[in-house]
Amino acid sequence: MNLGALVSETRNADSMDLDKLTTLDMVRLFNQEDRKVPEAVARELPAIAATVDLAAAALMAGGRLIYLGAGTSGRLGVLDAAECPPTFGVAPERVVGLIAGGPGALLKAVEGAEDSLTLAEEDLKALGLTAVDMVIGLAASGRTPYVIGGLRYARRLGCATAAISCNPDSPIAREAAVAISPVVGPEVLTGSTRMKSGTAQKLVLNMISTGSMVKLGKVYQNLMVDVKATNIKLVDRACRIVADATGAEITVAKAALAQTDYEVKPAILMILTGVDAAGAQRALERHQGYLRRALDDPD
């Protein structure tokens, strides 16, 4: 495929004089173009919802959610994966981000790594990919060989697959069971897909990871009840979550959390149902960690 023919690589008629604009007019143009991103993502909501369901099913079955990308797309996948353990209390190995060129490519480009059709297969084999896992390929252009090769390997194993690109009918879209293609149009800075395309991919990833975690019982109401209180800020957040969920005073929330090793779900159960810490843990285990179900049947 001719790279210059891609929507994401064409020139934006509204930014031809970008280098002549005043600073205010320049950032106004950036903002004007950025407004197109949520509209493009909105057109992909059915595909995003299908991907959320596939990701949740994979995780419920004991599989993993694996993001695969290069450059900005790869970094966004790694970022989303890295934020899942503190936010949702999942083990780091349950949501994984792979980037062409390995961890070093997060900080510095590894030239040529994304051009390999076999490197992603090697990376996935090193992870011990199995059919219960889900692989999501990310490439703004939709044509990155690293992502194409990884999706092909995942499909051969029988994995659920999805592809996120910012060009219509892209090669990676054809390699995946579900294609998410928010077409945001030409970038203000020609070909700089870290801009609108990167923003679109970040919005989609936010939906996929958060949506799948909601379905796994990691959320009660709109509260992150599996948050890990690993620092002062998160201890404070855990206290506020318990207080918000129960209507209790912060002092009561802190006292309950002190009995649950700062796990939020059992602390909420203790306050709302009157069970002790051990009883709260048993109720959660009986309901596979779903707090709402445990509240309906705490005994």
pLDDT attached to residue 112: 74
| Structure token digits, residue 225 | 């009840």
Q: Is the pLDDT of residue 25 over 70?
A: yes
- Measured distance CA(156)–CA(134) in Å, rounded: 12
pLDDT attached to residue 83: 95
pLDDT category of residue 298 using cuts at 50, 70 and 90: confident
Q: Give the range among 4-18, 83-97, 106-120, 253-267 with minimum mean pLDDT.
A: 106-120
Within 10 A of 251 (CB to CB), how many other CB atoms are there?
A: 10
Whether residue 83 lies in the annotated active site? yes
User: Per-residue pLDDT tens for 73-82?
Assistant: 999 999 999 9
pTM across the whole model: 0.93
Nearest to 182 by CA among 152, 156, 161, 204: 204
What does the pLDDT average to over 155-159? 97
User: Per-residue pLDDT tens for 31-60?
Assistant: 999 999 999 999 999 999 999 999 999 999
Whether residue 114 lies in the annotated active site? yes
Of 295 and 106, which is predicted with more confidence?
Answer: 295
Q: Provide, for the chain, the percentages of residues in helix, strand and coil under a 3-state DSSP scheme, each rounded to the nearest 5.
A: 60, 10, 35
Contact 117, 149 (CB under 8 A): yes
What does the pLDDT average to over 247-256? 96
pLDDT category of residue 4 using cuts at 50, 70 and 90: low
Q: Is the pLDDT of residue 3 over 80?
A: no
- Measured distance CA(246)–CA(299) in Å, rounded: 18
DSSP conformation class of 12: P
Looking up tokens 């009561």, which residue turns up?
252
User: Per-residue pLDDT tens for 161-219?
Assistant: 999 999 999 999 999 999 999 999 999 999 999 999 999 999 999 999 999 999 999 99
User: Per-residue pLDDT tens for 112-156?
Assistant: 778 889 999 999 999 999 999 999 999 999 999 999 999 999 999
**In whole numbers, what is the pLDDT of the chain averaged over residues?**
94
pLDDT attached to residue 190: 95
What does the pLDDT average to over 242-255? 96
pLDDT attached to residue 285: 95
pLDDT attached to residue 6: 87
Q: Is the pLDDT of residue 297 over 60?
A: yes
- How big is the CA angle at 182 (ends 179 and 188), to the nearest 5 degrees? 145
Catalytic residue among 44, 114, 187, 263: 114
pLDDT category of residue 107 using cuts at 50, 70 and 90: confident
Helix (H, G, I), strand (E, B) or coil at 21: coil
